[in-house]
Amino acid sequence: MVKVVIDTNLVASATIVSVGHSAPILDAWRAGKFQIVTSPQIIEEMKQVLFYKRIRKRSFMTEDEVLILLDSLEHSSIQTKGELQLKVVDADPADDKFIIAAIEGKTSYIVSGDQHLKDIGEYQGIKIISPTEFLKILGG
């Protein structure tokens, strides 16, 4: 089964727009079509971002639904330690955590709308692709 790191922006988008590309990716994960790989650093960022005021104002999900989503991501994903020390994303070093999780979790893809990550394209055989590209891979 394919293993994937998903960027925080994808999860935030999925809480704002129930159609589009992000929400169907989470639906496919819930349906067991692929495995999500995370790390403590990624989960922590998601916990912060999903409760930003600007995200909450636009979200169609209640706070309880967001907490359930976060709990599911934290406990139903493959957890890496996030301990590898790398400096790959010069334009935004905070994005290195996604590459680290992908390497530690031996994933095939990082799915992100973040231009800093997408500009890298591929790192150590891990392809960095958009949500639209990943939906095509999933066949949806």
The pLDDT tens digits for 40-83 are 999 999 999 999 999 999 999 999 999 999 999 999 999 999 88
The pLDDT tens digits for 105-117 are 999 999 998 888 8
pLDDT of residue 93: 81
pLDDT of residue 94: 87
Q: Measuring CA to CA, which residue among 129, 108, 106 is closest to residue 117? A: 129
Q: How many domains does the chain have?
A: 1
**Residue-range definition of the domain harbouring residue 99:** 3-138
140 has pLDDT over 70 = no
With 0.85 as the threshold, say if the pTM is over it: yes
| Phi, psi for 37 (deg, rounded to 5) | -110, 130
pLDDT of residue 136: 94
| Sheet strand arrangement including 109-111 | 78-79, 35-38, 3-6, 109-111, 126-129, 122-123
Report the pLDDT averaged over residues 78-96: 86
pLDDT of residue 110: 96
**Residue 28 sits in a domain of what CATH number?**
3.40.50.1010
CB atoms under 10 Å from CB of 118, counted, come to 15
The pLDDT tens digits for 12-30 are 999 998 888 899 999 999 9
